[in-house]
Amino acid sequence: MSALSLNPLQLSACATGCSDAHLVDFANHRIHVGIVDDFIALQNAAKQAGFELTIASSFRDFERQSTIWNAKFSGVRPVLNKDQQPVDLSTLSELDICNAILLYSALPGASRHHFGTDVDIFDQAAIKQGYKLQLEPHEYEDEGPFAAMTTWLNDNLVKFGFYRPYEKDLGGVAPEPWHISHIEQSHIMCEAINIEVLSKLIQQSDLLGKQTILTHLPELFERYVTNVSAPI
């Protein structure tokens, strides 16, 4: 089934990570069928500039995002603050735990990684064999291994139809210089998500903190889902 032929219900299922009808296999990852040509063009241009633009993370379905959420909510997996230091969840209310997690990890059903239009990238050519990729800001800034690629992307992303939704700190998701999004196709996916759709999905889930999430969903949706940088 072509992603372009999806009806509204099917599109909503894709946008919330409950269907993979919009995806194709690409370089050991799964991405939206509508971004393949533009992404290849971006990669080729980056290669000519001396960078090996590589996908670190792409599509994640609702169940995978739920596993991440529950591991963080329960303290099995660390939750980091903006200084990349672990947060002591034992001192927080459930709402504060949600806010702490949402700084870097999306609410299941509302993750842009469900879209297949958004990927985390790095410069494979800039690292030595055995380097452990961290996807942290210091790698993309100043003297970090991906700083040069970041500078190049600043000038070239939009030319190929991409942008960074988490480019700046807007009081929601922390800046993520590694996260790029296809402008046209991500907009279509965003339009398929709303509070009603998310509420129904979360009600049927086994997410930890579910009742708190549902109670505060409008404010969480506004702060962490729609509160992103605009394409320039």
Q: What share of the chain is helix, strand, coil (3-state, %, to 5)?
A: 45, 10, 45
What letters, b where the CB count within 10 A reaches 16 and e where it falls short, cover 22-38? bbeebeebbbbbbbeeb
Q: What is the DSSP letter of 34?
A: G
The continuous run of DSSP H or E covering 29 comes out as strand 29-32
Residue 198 tokens, joined: 């998310």
Is 231 domain-assigned?
A: no
Is 46 domain-assigned?
A: yes
pLDDT of 5 reads: 83
| φ/ψ of residue 120, rounded to 5 | -95, 130
Residues forming a β-bridge with 120: 57, 179
- The residue among 163, 106, 103 whose CA lies nearest residue 136 is 103
pLDDT of 4 reads: 61
What is d(CA 143, CA 135) in angstroms, rounded to the nearest whole number?
A: 15
Residues forming a β-bridge with 57: 120
Is 230 domain-assigned?
A: no
Which residue has tokens 């790698």? 139
What is d(CA 91, CA 94) in angstroms, rounded to the nearest whole number?
A: 10
Is 13 domain-assigned?
A: yes
pLDDT of 1 reads: 36
- Distances in Å between the alpha carbon of 74 and those of 1, 102, 215? 38, 14, 19
- Per-residue pLDDT 10s for the chain (232 aa) are 344 689 999 999 999 999 999 999 999 999 999 999 999 999 999 999 999 999 999 999 999 999 999 999 999 999 999 998 999 999 999 999 999 999 999 999 999 999 999 999 999 999 999 999 999 999 999 999 999 999 999 999 999 999 999 999 999 999 999 999 999 999 999 999 999 999 999 999 999 999 999 999 999 999 999 999 998 7
pLDDT of 9 reads: 95
Is 232 domain-assigned?
A: no
Is 19 domain-assigned?
A: yes
Long-range contacts of 6-15 (CB under 8 A, 24+ apart): 8/192, 11/188, 11/189, 11/192, 12/192, 12/193, 12/197, 14/114, 14/115, 14/116, 14/189, 14/192, 15/114, 15/115, 15/189, 15/190, 15/192, 15/193
Task: Return the CATH number at 162.
Answer: 3.30.1380.10
- Distances in Å between the alpha carbon of 184 and those of 10, 167, 187, 230? 18, 17, 5, 12
Q: Are the C-beta atoms of residues 222 and 71 closer than 8 Å to each other?
A: no
Is 131 domain-assigned?
A: yes
Instruction: Look at the chain and report how many structural domains it folds into.
Output: 1
pLDDT of 49 reads: 98
Q: Which domain holds residue 88?
A: 3-225
Q: Compute how many other C-beta atoms are within 10 angstroms of the C-beta atom of residue 123.
A: 22
pLDDT of 77 reads: 97
pLDDT of 127 reads: 96
Q: Which residues contact 191 (CB under 8 A, 6 or more apart)?
A: none
